[in-house]
Amino acid sequence: MTHRKNRCQVTPLRYAADAFVTAGLIVVLFLGWETWFNSIVLNAGQSAAASTLSQTWISHAATAPAGSPADPPVDAAPGATEPLAVIYVPRLGSDWERTIRETVDTETVLNSYDAGVGHYPGTAMPGGVGNFAIAAHDSGYGNTFIDVSKLQIGDAIYIQTPDGWYTYRFRNFQYVQPDQVNVLNAVPTVNGAPAGARLITMTTCNPPFHAVERLIAYGSFESFQPLTAGAPAEIAATVASKG
């Protein structure tokens, strides 16, 4: 009598195929974690940390130094990884806010649960003459700057410090190679030129989920108001709701 081969017999080839499928599934799950779930968790943590810092400064507003739109106070840069400001960009979401820490170190600042945005050491501080330059991820680790490309001319960028609120207005984009660091110059992309204006430069990777080039968003300083004057009207309700 002829015996038929057992169709359920497991062969080395079947073992290998199963292993490849399992490995592929693990990779997909890992990418999903890094890209989506982990970013959702970090997004919430970074926003909550920024809100807590913002409210702490507001609670001490009576001691904040005075300043004016023409001559705003400018703090000295803090130590590495220390917080220096909270950034609000309404175009990125009505509740979007992040802590800005000194340095753009990946692990301690850009990937952290309580920051997400880093300040390039050596560039201007908020309100200072020169280029206040900051960086954040476009995707992953909170997706902090994933929607920066949606900014429109005139959009507000609010920077809160222990002194008050600095308002910048977005003016233009630039796309550059990853090694074009002269966008951080006092006059962006111009080597050796003395600082003459108060600017903000936001840098991130582009396109989202890749690092082929860098997206640069520039803004110009518009005004300053002390913490005792309250938050700028556009974000006043958001800030008050966190108190």
Instruction: Return the active site residues.
Output: 137, 205
**154-185: b or e for each residue (b if 16 or more CB lie within 10 Å)?**
ebbbbbbbbbbbbbbbbeeeeebeeeeeebbb
Q: What DSSP designation does 93 have?
A: -
- For 36, how many CA atoms within 13 A lie in the half-sphere containing its CB? 5
Alpha-carbon span 81 to 118, nearest angstrom:
8
Alpha-carbon span 70 to 184, nearest angstrom:
23
Query: Read out DSSP for 196-220?
Result: -SEEEEEEEEESTT--SEEEEEEEE
Q: Are 227 and 64 in contact (CB under 8 A)?
A: yes
* Residue the block writes with tokens 């009207």: 233
